[in-house]
Structure 1
Amino acid sequence: MAINPNVINEARSKDSLHNTFSEVKELQFSLFGIPILLKDNINASGMPTTAGAIALQDNNIEDAFIVTKLKARGALVLGKANLSEWAYFFCGDCPSGYSAIGGQTLNPYGRKIFDTGGSCSGSAVAVSANFCVAAVGSETSGSILSPSSQNSVVGLKPKIGLVSRSGIIPISSTLDTAGPIAKNVTDASILLGAIYGYDVQDSKSFKSNNSTWVTNNYSEIGGLPLKGKAFGVFRTLLEDSLYVQAVTVLKKLGAKIIEIDPEDYQLPEFLRLLNLDMKKDLPEYFSKYGDPTLGFKSIEDVVAFNLKDSIKTMPYGQRLFEGVIADSGTEEDLIKIKRQLKDNGTLYFDLVGKRHNLDSFLSINNYHAGFAAVAEIPAITVPMGYAETGEPKGLTFICSSEKWLIDYAYLYEQASQKRNAPKKYN
C-alpha cells in the first residue's frame, strides 16, 4: 500500500550505529534494523493510514502508540500492507483481501485460487512471501488468525488490553487488538515483546504484572514441557487429517489429548456489538487520531462520501456500514449485548476446560476465533501443513496466557516443521 519514504536512510543510519556496538549480544532479540510492515489501519507518520478506503487516502497523521514502541526498539517501519477494506467490516459481500486503494491481495500458495483470509490479508501475504521479516496486524474476530493460517505463517492474537489500540482505525473497542504476524513463533514472540505495554489513552489497556518474560526471556521459549499438559481436541474436527496429524505430534511430546464436545453456547447479536461499538468508536478515532483536514466526523459522512462515486469507492457496496447506521440500539442495549457475549464466550471454554482440567484448546485456522474474541483470551495459529490442493492450514492454540500459548506453539512448531515457503518467493 505504501513504502516509508525514509526507510533507506533510516536503514543506513542503523548500519552505521550498529558498527558502534562492542558486543553483538546487545542486539539479541531486539528489532534493531528489522523491516516491519504495518496493516494499513495503523497510524504511522510519513504515510497515509487509509484502511484501504479512498475516503481516507489523505489521512496523514502521527505514529500510533505501538509504532512509537516499535521505533524505540530499533525497528524499521518498512511500509503499509493491504487489508480487507475497513478491516473487513464494510462491504459484507466482497472477497477477503480486497480494498479500493490496494486492490485484490493474492495468496502466494495459489494466486487467484486460494483465499487470502482477512482482514490482515496483505500483512500475512507479505510475511509469507518474504517481503518483510514480520508484520503487525489487528484482530476483532479472526483477522489475524485467518490470514495467518491461509498463508502458512504464525499469527498471535493477544489478550485484549495487552497491546494498545490508540491510533488504530477501530471496529470495536470491546474486541479489537493488535498483534504480530511472522514466519515462526520466536519472531512473533519478539515482535509481541516490542509492542505490548500500558497505554493510558486505551480504555482496555492494563499494566501487566507477569509479562517480563516478553522482553527478557526469549531464550526460555519452549521451557514449559508438554508432558502431562492437557489439550482439548474438538471431536468434530477429527475428520481433518492434518488436525489428526498435529494432535499425534503433541501426543508424542507427552501431551494428554482429551476429545471434547463444547457446551452449546451461541454468540447472539455479535454483529450488533460491532455495529454499536463502531458507531461510537469511529467518530472517536476521527476526533482524536485522524487527520482533521478530512472533515469526517461520523460513519454517515463516510457513507455519503462513497455515494459520490460508488464504482470507484465501493464496487461491492457498503452494506455493513449501512447496517451500522440503521442500528438504533442504545447504550443500554450495547452493555447488555457485551455482557451476554462475554459470559457465553467465557463459559464456552471454562465449563469444558474445568471439567477436564485442560491447559489449552486446539482448533483449526479461525474456527473458534469468535468465542476467543468475546471471552477476550489470546490465541495463536501455527502452520500445520497443506491440504491435497496445496492450501495451507494452521493449528490454533487457545488459552488464557500468551506465555503458555507461545511455549505450546513453539514446541509443536519445532517438532512438526510443517511450514514450507511458497515457491518462487524465497
Structure 2
Amino acid sequence: MKNYYFYFLVLLVLFGCNFKNSTEWISYNEDLEIKTNLDHSNERMRFKLIQSKYNDKNNWFKELNSDIYGFNEENYENLKSLILEKDIPSIQENIISGKLSYEKLVLFYLYRIKKIEFNQSTYLNSIISINPNIIEEAREKDKKKPDSTFSLYGIPILLKDNINYEGLPTTAGSALLKENIAENSFVTKKLKASGALILGKTNLSEWAYYFCIGCPLGYSAIGGQTLNPYGRKIFESGGSSSGSGAAISANLSSVSLGSETSGSILSPSSLNSIVGLKPTIGLVSRTGIVPISSTLDTSGPMTKNVIDNVIVFNSIMGFDSEDKYSKEKIEIDINKITNSSLKGVRLGVFKSLLNEPLYKEAIEKIKEAGGIIFEFDPPKIDFSGFRKILDVDMKKELPEYLSSYSKVDSAIKNISDIINYNLQDSLKRSPYGQGIFEGIVSDDTSIEEFKMLKVKLKKEGKRFFDESINKNSLDAILSINNYHAAYAAAAYYPCLTIPMGYRDSGLPTNLTFIGPSFSENKLYQLGFAYESLTKKRIPPLN
C-alpha cells in the first residue's frame, strides 16, 4: 500500500504542475554570483547586474487566456518529440496529419519558456515580453492548414526587441523606451502577411551594443543579462541579438529574427550554435527598426537549421519605398537548396585561421565531399573610420526614429537627452556607462568626410574578399563566427553562419560562409550541403 501511495505522489509531482500552480519568478540576491564572476578571464563576463530591475517576468503570462492553465507537464512531455529541434516542414507535417495544432505548439513554447526562464538555475534572460494574444491568434490559425510544409503559416517567431510590433513595447533594451508601443515594422507586416505568429520579444545588447564601451554582450536595462545556454555564466551570449540566439538554441520558439550592423546576428548565432543569416543590405527593410546605421543595418533570420532560415528569409524580403536602400526580392530556389552538394564547389579559406582545429576539420570534411579549397591571405586594406559611419548615422537616425515612432517623453529628442535621462538613475539605467553614446555626441565628422568614408570603406571591404574571389572564381569564402563581419558589412556582402562544433571547453563555434552581394541562394546551397554532411549542432543539455 505504501508503494502505491509513493507512486501516486510521484505522478502528482510530475503531471500535476500546470501554468496556474507552477512557480512564479522571485527575484533573488545575486551578489554571490556576481562575485564569483569577478575573476572571469573575459572582462566582459564580470557582470555588475544579472536580473532586470525593470522587467517583472510574472507579467508575461498575466493577460493570456485562462485556458492556458490546463496545459501541464504531461502535455509538455507528450509533445516534445513533435516539436523539440524539429524544422518547420516537420512541424507543418505534424499539423497537417493532426498530430499537432498551432495552439498546442504555442502552449508548448509558453510552458517551456516558463519552465526555463522562471527557474533560478536555468534562466537565460532571453525573453523581454510575450504577446498576450498569442493563444487566440494560434486558434485562428488552426481554422485552416498551411498551403505548404515550407510555409511560415502558424509558426511562432520571436522578434529582437528593436523591431517594432504594435502588440508589445519596442524598447531596444532601454529604460527610456519601456512603454514604447510603435506601429508594426515593415518586416513585422511581412511576417504577419505570411501567417507567422509573433510569440514575443527577445533581449538584446542595449541599443544594439552601440551604447557602452567594453560592457557585457547581451546586457540591457530592460532585459537584464542574457546568459548562454551552453554555459550560463561561463560563455558569452554573443550580441547584439543575444536573446534571439539564446532563446532559439534553448528551443523557446521555432524561429527568431535578429538584426545586424556588424556581427550582431553572426556573433550570437555562433555562440549559441544556431544558423544565422546577415543578408545583403537592402533585401530586408529597416523601416520600423530602432537604428544604428542606415548604411549598414539589416534584419535577418536566426534559426536552428538552414531550411528554417530560408523559409523566414523568403517571408521577410520585399521592396519598401520608405527604405532608401531597399531592393526587390530575389527568388529563393528551395528545391535547388535541398538538392545541393559540395562536389566541385570552390571555397576560399584564410591561411591565418588554419591553426583553428574546428575550422581545419570543417575544411577537410568539405574536401572529402568534393569541395575545392583555395588558401589565401587577404590584402591589407585601409579600414580606418568604420566607427565614424555608425556615429554619424546614429546621431541623425535615432532622433528620427524617436520622433516618428516613439511615444516617450517628447522632451527627449536626441542622444544627448538620452544620456541625461540615464544619468538620473545611472545604477539602473546605465551601469556600464554610456561611452559610445558620449562619443557620438562629440563626433564632428563633416558631411563631405562622411560621404568619402562610405565610398572608401565599401571599396576596401569588397577588395578584402574580391581579390581571392576573382582570382580563384570562388563560390564563397569561409570564416569563423563573426571574425570578418565588419569587412562583409562594409562590402554589403551576405554571411551565413552554420554550427561546426564545440571547442574543448564546450564553447560553440560556427563556420561562416561569405559571398558577394545577392549571393544568398548560393550561400544557402553551400550551408545546407555542409549542415547535411556534418550535423554538428547539439542542443544545450540543460
Structures share fold, TM-score greater than 0.5 = yes
Task: Return the match for 1:14 from 124, 137, 141.
Answer: 141
Q: In the TM superposition, what is the alpha-carbon distance from 1:220 to its structure 2 partner?
A: 2.8
1:252 deviation in Å? 1.6
Q: Does 1:404 align with 2:522?
A: yes
1:186 paired residue number: 307
Name the amino acid aligned to 1:368.
H
Once the two structures are superposed, what CA deviation does each residue of 1:209-255 show, in whole Å capped at 9, x if it has no partner? xx222xxx323314444322210010010101100111111112211
Please, what is the CA RMSD of the aligned residues?
1.2
The Cα shift of 1:359 comes to 1.3
Matched, 1:288 2:288: no
Aligned to 2:331: 212
How many residues are treated as equivalent by the alignment? 413
Q: Give the alignment partner of residue 182 of structure 2, picking from 61, 65, 87.
A: 61
Q: Which runs of 5+ in 2 are unaligned?
A: 1-127
Q: Helix, strand or coil: the match of 1:345?
A: helix
- Measure the CA separation in 2 of the matches of 1:245 and 1:416: 10
1:31 CA drift (Å):
1.0
Higher relative contact order by CA 8 Å / sep ≥ 6: 1 or 2? Answer: 1
Task: Indicate the residue corresponding to 2:539 in structure 1.
Answer: 421
1:145-166 deviations in Å (ceiling 9; x for gaps): 0000000000000000000000
Q: Provide the rounded CA distance (Å) in 2 between the counterparts of 1:52 and 1:148.
A: 19
1:383-402 equivalences under 5 Å are: 383-400=499-516, 401-402=519-520
**1:28 and 2:153 aligned:** no
Aligned to 2:296: 175
Q: Which residue of 2 aligns with 1:267?
A: 383
Alpha carbons 1:84, 1:121 under 8 Å: kept: yes
**What fraction of aligned residue pairs are identical, expressed as a percent?**
53
- Cα distance in 2 for residues equivalent to 1:343 and 1:326: 27
**Shift in Å at residue 295 of structure 1?**
4.1
Deviation string, structure 1 residues 85-115 (Cα, Å, up to 9, x no partner):
0000001121001001100010000110001
Residues 302-345 of structure 1: per-residue CA shift (max 9 Å, x gap): 11111111111100000000000000112112101111111100
What is the identity, as a one-letter code, of the residue corresponding to 1:329?
T
Does structure 2 conserve the Cα–Cα contact (< 8 Å) formed by 1:233 and 1:363? yes
Structure index of larger Rg: 2
SS for the counterpart of 1:410 is: helix
In structure 1, list runs of 5 or more residues that go unmatched. Answer: none
Structure 1 Cα separation of the partners of residues 320 and 416 of structure 2: 29
Partner secondary structure for residue 232 of structure 1: strand
SS state at 1:160 partner: coil
The 8 Å contact of residues 265 and 277 in structure 2, kept in 1 or not, is answered as: yes
Report deviation, 1:190. Answer: 0.3
Would the aligned equivalents of 1:39 and 1:122 in 2 still touch at CA under 8 Å? yes
2-structure distance, mates of 1:100, 1:292: 16
Distance in 2 between residues matched to 1:325 and 1:359, nearest whole Å = 42
Contact 1:263/1:352 (8 A) holds in 2: no
**Aligned match for 1:4, one of 131, 142, 147:** 131
Q: Deviations over 1:332-376 (max 9, x none)?
A: 121011111111001111112111221110000000000000000
Distance 2:176 2:381 in 1: 39
Aligned CA distance change for structure 1 residues 152 and 294 (closer, same or farther; 3 Å): farther
Partner-residue secondary structure (3-state), 1:212: coil
Partner of 1:249: 365
Aligned equivalent of 1:135 = 256
For the residues of structure 2 that align with 1:189 and 1:159, how far apart are their CA atoms?
Answer: 14
Q: Is the 8 A contact 1:59 1:294 kept in 2?
A: no
Aligned 1:132-171 pairs, distance under 5 A: 132-171=253-292
Q: CA deviation at 1:287?
A: 2.2
What is the SS of the residue equivalent to 2:235? coil
Query: What letter corresponds to residue 390 of structure 2 in structure 1?
Result: L
1:80 is matched with: 201
State TM-score, norm by structure 2. 0.75
Change (3 A) 1:29 1:365: same
The one-letter amino acid paired with 1:175 is L
| SS of equivalent residue, structure 2 residue 258 | strand
